[in-house]
Structure 1
Amino acid sequence: MKHPYTYILFILLTSIVFNACSTKKDKFINRNWHALNTKYNTLYNGNIAFEEGREELNNNYRDDYWEILPVERLEVTEDIKLDSEDNNPNFIIAEEKASKAIQKHSMDIKDEERNPQTDEAFLLLGKARYFDQRYIPALEAFNYIINKYNYSDKLGEANIWREKVNIRLENEDLAIKNLKRVFKYENLNDQEYADARAMLAQAYINLDSLGKAVQQLKIASYHTKKNPEKGRYYFIIGQLYNRLNQKDSANYAFNKIVELNRKSPRVYMINAEIEKIRNTEITNENQAEMLEFLTKMEENRENRPFLDKIYRQIAEYHLEQKNDSVALAYFNKSLRATELEPKLNALNYENLAVYNFDKNDYKTSGAYYDSVLTNLEENTKKFRSTKKKLDNLEDVVKYEDIAQNADSVITLYNLPVDDQIAYFEKYVAKLQAEKLAAAKKEENRITAGFAQFAESKGGKENKGKFYFYNLTSLGYGKNDFVQKWGKRQLEDDWRWSKKGRALTSEATGELVAANDS
């Protein structure tokens, strides 16, 4: 009797599951079935892939602290990508999972979405496309949420992400207008409010409205719950104040980063300390304190990844204090410590080039300017100005060499005859000594080669044989002959290079023609 009940129960459960799988029925079981499958299956795996992709981007991204940092850490290429192009496989997986969730679990009944997780699927779809830098398809996904899901709890987030896309597409004015509308009409939580203010600041930075950007970043730094974001926003505020030539306000922002200490990435704190030093005028009162602080930064083991910038700051300090030799040493230490920092290399080489130029060492200065060029991007204003300096410097070096040669000739011409003879005799002796040294070096090389051959298996096999059967002796003799006589034809009177060679008469000491017959 148990089997019929089991069979009936199986049929009942199967029918329930089958009915629940339908996306056309607006029933409690249908809605929750598809919501659970969307959230804990496809979207769960998609979100994992998305976070892995973002982590990979963050690990590979390197900030350029010589320029104003972007609000968002994302390396952007110049080209706008389309659907057919992809980059990061994690974002492709996230997009596929989001698309699968939409296709299999969307419950669009009477033009209304009944699956409460579908809007999250569209949000993930847009985010994956955004970080894959396919902004037009991403914009479509965010617009779909805004236009379709009027009562979604993701509406505010979708609006913020849409304006991120507009900023990437250089539609800053539109982004500012839309973000102001979001603040007025949407209910945002603190983190969403901070994100929106930060993106509004980015739009103002792009439009060079730095004062307005500062105000937005102050609000964002107050509302964000993420300490790494706080540190980044404070640093950008400091950079903006520096651009506005408000050094005290900039240092106040940099001090906020120092106060965060380990709550924020150390890279922000180190760069903030360096910026504070640059903003501080060195006087007799703070000179020793400044050097002591820089020395502590150099000796702190936690600062090893940042020694390239610390060394450069120490070099600039000593250069300002006229300690030239120490400054040059630290510029070179910075160059040796630098990894993947072409702008830092360019700055160090430029300092060395300027120093040698001021010392009238134009050749060395030109070599350093050449190194500056290798660390700059072509088709930039800095590259063109440096190239012009180098070209002018090469002309200076050329004419300086001509002038030096002319001065040398004039100086020699003005010497007494005896001094001129002594100079040329000394010069000829030097040339002869160099020639003899070169010949001796070559002879030693050949001798060493034969000695090595003699110790080899082939050399030992020929040891003790008749001269012309001994390969070692024969080879040495042949080379010795060529060195002494050169290459001669096998003929009579081979010793004379010219048949009409002049000889000295032993009787008279006069030159006579040699008889070659």
Structure 2
Amino acid sequence: MQGGFCNRYFNSDSITNRFRPVFLWVIITAWLSGCSQYSSKKLPVAYHDLNAHYNAYVIARDRIREVERYRLKTFQENYNQPLPILLPLDSTKLEPVRAQLEDAIKKASLVAERHQNSKWLDNSYILLGTARLYRQDYANAIEVFKYINTKGESDEEKHEALILLMRTYIETGDYTNGLSVAEYLRAQPLNNVNTRNYYLTKAYLHQKRQEYAVSAALLDATFPFLKKGESTARLHLIAGQMYDLIGKPEQALAHYQKVARNRPNYEQSFYATIYSIQGGRTSNERFSRMLNDRKNNDLRDKIYYTMGLLEARAGRYPKAIEYWKKSIRETTTNTTQIPYTYQEMGKLYFEKVQDFPTAKAYYDSALALLPQQSADYKALAARKIYLDEFVDHQSTIQTEDSLQKLAQLNPAALDRHLNEAIDRKLKQQQELLAKAQAIAAQAANRPATTSDIPADQRWVLYNPLLITQGRAEFTQKWGNRALEDNWRRSQKETSAQLAQADATPQTAPGLSPNVQQGSVPAALSEAERKAQKDALYATIPFSPEALQRSNQRLENAYYHLGKLYKFQFNQPEKSISTFETLLNRYPNTTVKPEIYYLLMVSNDQLNRPSGWKDKLLAEYPTSSYARQIGKTGTNATPTATGESAANRTYTEIYDLYKANNLTEALSRAEAAMSSLTGSLIEDKMALLRVILIGKVRGVDPYRQALIEFIRDYPTSPLLPRVREMQVAAEQPTAKRK
């Protein structure tokens, strides 16, 4: 059996001709002495070293290198975000080189199976773990790297495996274990290669944790171990970005200047210049030269975007918007810049111009195109929620006010007004159709490549921006669907049923069926005009019941709009005017105590004297808002003994909560609330009660308790956390802590 085993290797085609005489002598000798992979004799060890090296390790190493070259070649940098120090792992993007990974795993495993006494055993295990890591098979990768650290013979291979183990922990989000491995390696005598990889991996870990100062310092320690080239230029660019993030522009500029000295590619050189200009560290006179440089034809959108940033910082907002619109128009096939441009436009309208409906429109466009894994996506989505709510309430006020005014017109004036509204709508549809036909005709007379048509003037099928946006919206709503007929249907029907169901034409949102079908009548028939007029009549609140419902909608809209101005947009002036309008129009509103309190707080924020505190104490002395005021008064300040007792009560109830005795904890919390009024931990106990309600009584009572907390403790420092809990509670699969 031993002879047959050796003969299989003797006949291997993978052994090169120049080693064939040596192999012949080694194999014959090994066959005479026994070629066990567990033997420690020189000849069997030499035989297994040779076979492990050339028949397994070298092939696996080359396969891994092919995969790494493919990752580097296909990775798309997003220069609108801090670049990742190490390329992120995505097994789906490695499908084209899946065969190479499988072959690397197969060949590296041969060493462990057949050549246990080979000096290439640890190296092959490292390749095996690396291949598992690239496939995102993290559990097996961790197992392999831990095995090398435990059983490996060479310290260098052990250190290499631990660095890869740290990388694996980073990819799984287990930063605690990653830091533990890093702390152990810090005390080890690493060679130059392992030192470089250790610094890079640890810098990546701190970058993922958004600890940019530590990450940048680790990168600075790495550069002495690096040679000039694109990869080093890229790391200087990243170091500059992180120094910018922590507010150290001098260090950032030094790294941007070093990019050019490390043989960068053109994009790296371009963005190093752009980042320097964005920080105000380089003269913006370079813009004209950059715009006229033919090499920048595909990057003009980024140049105009940067010009807009500088104008916005200087307070020249109309000019900033103009440049950002030019940035969008200059977009060619690469649309990655567009969502970030929309985001900046939305931010300007939100924070500076305070035009919230326009801000919402730009945020909508940004979210439709922004990758969900983007660092800005969650913050943008959260802000959009409040903007959606704002626009909805503002629209309700405008609509209901208009309808109530129409209800007061005499019949002749009302009929004339409705006719004018119908005519305006018809004219708008005709103008929209004419514009669509003109753009379609323009596109039809051009070649298939229409990148010279401005982005906002292109017909949809020739506009890469609209195509990308449409694809994003489709995927968000329907997911990834196969290209097939009737993809909306969860269950396929018969051909006759499909034909009948599809007989009704589908209309796109925002366009009337006539516009989509390519025709709008020059004038409406009497029947059509009457139908539209009847539909409008039905929305007008003529009856007392309809008027009451309209007023309820108005009251609710004013209330929520005022709170948005106060808490989300930090505009106390507009909050005051909104609440005062609410009180003037609806003096018997049920939320009057809260409105009094918020008016008092908003006036205090503006350092204005007001009588709202006295009105609240006089009209609603027992309300929770009166208690809030009482906390600040000297008469209501608890004694040290009272605070000590309050803290003891809270600790006892919290211990019950930790012991999972939830029902008793909730009962005691509700009983203790009245005794804690005015104490420093009243809001803390109220929050614990909210959490217990969620644990004991379910989702709906939990949501109501969150609303009551926000209403009763509007100045509590716990309010931001409660709002986060409220947002999470509204999610379908929300999990409360």
Aligned: 1:122 with 2:122: no
Q: C-alpha distance in 2, partners of 1:323/1:369? A: 17
Aligned to 2:257: 255
Q: Tell me by how many angstroms 1:140 deviates.
A: 1.9
AA at the equivalent of 1:278: Q
Q: Which one of the candidate residues 104, 115, 121 is aligned to 1:105?
A: 115
Partner of 1:315: 308
TM-score by length of 1: 0.64
Structure 1 counterpart of 2:164, from 137, 161, 165: 161
State yes or no: 1:26 paired with 2:40: yes
Query: 1:228-274: CA deviations, max 9, x gaps?
Result: 342233223222222222222222222222332xx133333332222
Per-residue deviation, 1:128: 0.8
Cα pair 2:357 2:387 within 8 Å, conserved: no
In structure 1, what residue type is equivalent to 2:274?
A: I
Q: How does 1:101-500 map to 2 (within 5 A)?
A: 101-107=111-117, 115-151=118-154, 153-189=156-192, 191-225=193-227, 227-260=229-262, 263-280=263-280, 289-290=283-284, 292-319=285-312, 320=314, 322=316, 324=318, 327-328=321-322, 330-334=324-328, 337=331, 344-353=337-346, 366-376=360-370, 377=372, 380-397=378-395, 399-400=397-398
Q: Which amino acid aligns with 2:325?
A: F
Corresponding letter in the other structure for 2:188: Y
Residue 355 of structure 1: how far off its partner (Å): 6.6
Contact 1:307–1:334 (CA under 8 A) maintained in structure 2: no
Q: What is the CA distance between 1:293 and its match in structure 2?
A: 0.9
Selected match of 2:102 from 89, 92, 101: 92
Q: Distance in 1 between matches of 2:348 and 2:224?
A: 45
Shift of 1:75: 3.3
Gaps of 5+ in 2: 1-20, 431-737
Q: What SS does the corresponding residue of 1:185 show, helix, strand or coil?
A: coil
Q: Distance in 1 between matches of 2:380 and 2:85?
A: 25
**CA offsets 1:83-106 (integer angstroms, 9 cap, x no match):** xx9993322221111012321222
Is contact 2:85-2:200 (8 Å) kept? yes
Query: CA offset at residue 214 of structure 1?
Result: 2.5
TM-score of the superposed pair, with normalisation by structure 2:
0.46
Aligned amino acid, residue 236 of structure 2? Y
Instruction: Tell me which of 57, 60, 71 is aligned to 2:71.
Output: 57
Q: Residue 207 of structure 1: CA displacement? A: 4.3
Letter in 2 for 1:267: E
Asked whether the equivalents of residues 353 and 365 of structure 1 are also in contact (C-alpha less than 8 Å), the reply is yes
- Taking structure 1 as reference, are residues 203 and 104 closer, same or farther at Cα in structure 2, changes over 3 Å only? same
**Residue aligned with 2:67, SS:** helix
Post-superposition CA distance 1:127-180 (Å, at most 9, x none)? 111111122211222222222223354233223222222333344344344334
Which residue is equivalent to 1:475?
Answer: none
**Distance verdict in 2 for CA 1:362–1:237, change over 3 Å:** closer
**Residues 347 and 404 of structure 1: is their aligned pair in 2 closer, same or farther, counting only changes over 3 Å?**
farther
* 1:16 has 2:29 as partner: yes
2:268 aligned counterpart, secondary structure: helix
How much does 1:383 deviate?
A: 0.7
Cα 1:100–1:169 shift into 2, 3 Å:
same
Specify whether residues 301 and 194 from structure 1 end up closer, same or farther in structure 2 by C-alpha distance, changes over 3 A only.
Answer: farther
SS at match of 2:88: coil
Cα deviation digits, residues 265-299 of structure 1 (max 9, x gap): 33333322222222217xxxx8xx41x31222233
Specify the SS of the correspondent of 1:264. coil
Q: Shift in Å at residue 77 of structure 1? A: 8.2
* Change in 2 beyond 3 A, CA 1:60/1:394: farther
Instruction: Please report how far the alpha carbon of residue 300 of structure 1 lies from its aligned counterpart in structure 2 after TM superposition.
Output: 2.8
Q: Which amino acid aligns with 2:207?
A: I
Cα offset for 1:223?
1.5
Quick check: 2:278–2:310 contact (8 Å CA) kept in 1? Answer: no
User: Hey, what's the Cα distance between the residues in 2 that align with 1:214 and 1:30?
Assistant: 50
Classify the secondary structure of the residue corresponding to 1:314: helix
In 2: Cα distance, 1:398 partner to 1:182 partner:
62
Q: In the comparison of the two structures, how many residue pairs are matched?
A: 396
Q: Deviations over 1:346-399 (max 9, x none)?
A: 332244456778889877655434312312439823212123213322443554
1:406: how far off? 8.8
Q: Matched residues in 2 for 1:144 and 1:350: separation? A: 48
Q: Name 2:693's counterpart in structure 1.
A: none
Secondary structure of 2:187's counterpart equals helix
Larger radius of gyration: 1
**Is the contact between residue 291 and residue 300 of structure 2 (CA under 8 Å) also seen in structure 1?**
yes
* Residue in structure 1 matched with residue 678 of structure 2 by the alignment: none
Write the distance in 1 (CA, Å) between the matches of 2:208 and 2:346.
34
- Partners of 2:91 and 2:135 within 8 A in 1: no
Alpha carbons of structure 1 residues 42 and 427: separation in structure 2 relative to 1, 3 Å = closer
Structure 1 distance, partners of 2:399, 2:353, is 17
Supply the distance in 2 between the matched residues of 1:365 and 1:381 (Cα, whole angstroms): 14
